[in-house]
Amino acid sequence: MSADDRPLRDYIRTIPDFPHEGILFRDVTTLFADPRGFRMAVDQLLHPFAGARIDCVAGLEARGFILGGAVAHQLGTGFVPIRKTGKLPAATIRQSYTLEYGEAEMEVHDDAFAPGMRVLLVDDLLATGGTAEAGVRLIERLGAEVAGCAFVIELPALGGRDRLEAMGMAVTALCAFEGA
């Protein structure tokens, strides 16, 4: 197989024991650094939504900004960052979510989405689904509709897809890795 025939997952580096012992960290910076791999990821993320009405792309901090911005550009839409608390300058709404080690919050500007907008939510990784669920809730609280949730990597054992699908979300992931 030539380098040009590599599947997307081959562009993703695995780093053992990061950030904690026993974790296999899936590092997408190697995907982003490769022009062909990055293009492939962006094209594959937007492919399921070709022909669908997407008014805006929202990206989850921080790698979702890189992917979401590129997807928004390709779709000809705007981009909205969903950030960790305290990073946005104007009035915001917040949504808390549970992590394996506690709670955190995400926020978005309170005028980021208009009622009825169809928003594609993008991030690099779907694990437990907590961050994505918070993003969905923020979008919906402003009256917009989530057209779908798109991820590069899914960790199926952690149940994020089930969590989002239980909310009625359409979930797309480009590749899956076993384990945590």
For residue 57, give the 3-state DSSP assignment. strand
Which of 137, 180, 119 has its CA nearest to residue 155?
A: 180
Which of 57, 25, 168 has its CA nearest to residue 122?
A: 57
Q: Which of 13, 39, 53, 100 is catalytic?
A: 100
Q: Which of 63, 83, 118, 161 is catalytic?
A: 63
Cα dihedral 91, 85, 167, 155 in deg (nearest 10): 150
For residues 54 and 47, is the Cβ–Cβ distance under 8 A? no
Cβ partners under 8 Å of residue 94, min gap 6: 85, 105, 106, 107
94 is catalytic: no
140 is catalytic: no
Give the distance from CA 11 to its chain's centroid. Answer: 18
User: Which positions are annotated as active-site residues?
Assistant: 63, 100
